[in-house]
């Protein structure tokens, strides 16, 4: 199945494999099966993707969401405020995650070995269990570039490294959490020509939340770049969507975004209508591939999407969060 998931060529392939994954998870994921039973949904009555139930993401905080009897190889945890309950993603095949992010990066950005990868993710580095740190650490290794690496509080050293690499024409990716990128440009001004700036969202309580347009304008001015890239991912997913500017995200072939009615969580919206973000992530084969998130967004005709906020009263967390 892993081979099939990462070899999807068209919508027909995606729909066929998605229905197979649904059957697998209905039969092997006790939490998801119970959820489907409560809704009186059975694979025999599901003939199209839009009829598949989406598990509310909160279940990752209260249940062990798993569709495999294999040994758990990794447990990824979400960030959270002191005393809050965090999500746990039990991963029985870490190679599924590696394949997903490596193939996803290659799909959108090409060969990782072309880049120097610099990471400014202080809040993630300061805790254990971050799936983002696992991914970036592996991308740094896979880049095979001695200049690649993590930065924590050594902002000045990072600034010098950015200028040095950019000046000599080295293709560079700087991936950082929003508040840390803002900290960097408040201390230094740049005029970068060969560097991609990618934000993973979230102020993590360190700064006032900004709408995406305001944040990206500040970052464009500070780094001297025309566009700010973004990554959309979360603890509960093994795949990422990427935006190369303007906050419009694309998914890899094994991932798809739908929106649901805000007043009726079981009804899928028509394209172009704002609603709750539902994610199909087929790389989540051994957990749950059908997740109803707390993000609000819009999906366009070509399958791209944007995030426009969060449901009221939901905790502010995760990657790429811009609250309106």
Written as one string, the DSSP assignment of 181-215 is: HHHHHHH-----SSEEEEE----TTSS----HHHH
Structure confidence by residue, pLDDT tens digits, 244-262 = 998 999 999 999 999 999 8
Point out which residues pair with 255 in neighbouring strands: 281
The average confidence (pLDDT) of the chain is 91
Structure confidence by residue, pLDDT tens digits, 173-221 = 999 999 999 999 999 999 999 999 999 977 566 667 778 899 999 999 9
The pLDDT, as a whole number, for residue 322 is 29
Structure confidence by residue, pLDDT tens digits, 42-75 = 999 999 999 999 999 999 999 999 999 999 999 9
Point out which residues pair with 305 in neighbouring strands: 249, 299
The pLDDT, as a whole number, for residue 248 is 95
User: Who's near 215: CB < 8 A, 6+ residues apart?
Assistant: 178, 182, 199, 228, 322
The pLDDT, as a whole number, for residue 314 is 43
Nearest to 102 by CA among 252, 236, 319: 252
* Cα separation, 267 vs 279, whole angstroms: 14
The pLDDT, as a whole number, for residue 203 is 59
């Amino acid at each position: 199945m892993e081979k099939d998931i990462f070899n999807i060529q068209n919508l027909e392939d995606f729909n066929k494999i998605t229905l197979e994954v649904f059957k697998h998870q209905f039969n092997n994921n006790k939490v998801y099966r119970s959820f489907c039973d409560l809704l009186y949904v059975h694979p025999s009555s599901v003939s199209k993707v839009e009829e598949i139930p989406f598990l509310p993401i909160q279940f990752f905080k209260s249940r062990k969401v798993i569709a495999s009897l294999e040994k758990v190889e990794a447990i990824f945890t979400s960030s959270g405020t002191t005393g809050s309950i965090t999500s746990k993603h039990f991963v029985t095949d870490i190679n599924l995650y590696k394949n997903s992010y490596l193939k996803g990066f290659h799909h959108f950005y090409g060969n990782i070995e072309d880049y120097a990868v610099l990471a400014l993710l202080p809040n993630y580095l300061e805790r254990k269990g971050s799936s983002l740190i696992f991914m970036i650490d592996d991308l740094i290794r896979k880049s095979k570039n001695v200049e690649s690496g993590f930065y924590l509080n050594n902002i000045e050293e990072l600034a010098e490294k950015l200028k040095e690499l950019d000046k000599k024409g080295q293709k560079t990716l700087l991936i950082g959490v929003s508040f840390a990128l803002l900290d960097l440009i408040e201390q230094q001004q740049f005029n970068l020509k060969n560097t991609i700036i990618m934000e993973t969202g979230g102020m993590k309580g360190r700064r006032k939340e900004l709408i995406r347009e305001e944040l990206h304008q500040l970052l464009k001015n500070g780094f001297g770049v025309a566009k700010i890239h973004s990554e959309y991912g979360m603890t509960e997913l093994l795949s990422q969507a990427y935006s190369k500017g303007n906050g419009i995200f694309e998914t890899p072939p094994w991932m798809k975004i739908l929106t649901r009615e805000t007043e009726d969580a079981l009804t899928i919206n028509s394209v172009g209508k704002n609603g709750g973000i539902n994610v199909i992530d087929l790389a989540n084969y051994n957990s749950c591939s059908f997740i109803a998130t707390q993000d609000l967004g819009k999906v366009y005709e070509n399958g791209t999407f944007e995030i426009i906020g969060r449901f009221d009263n939901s905790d502010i967390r995760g990657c790429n969060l811009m609250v309106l």
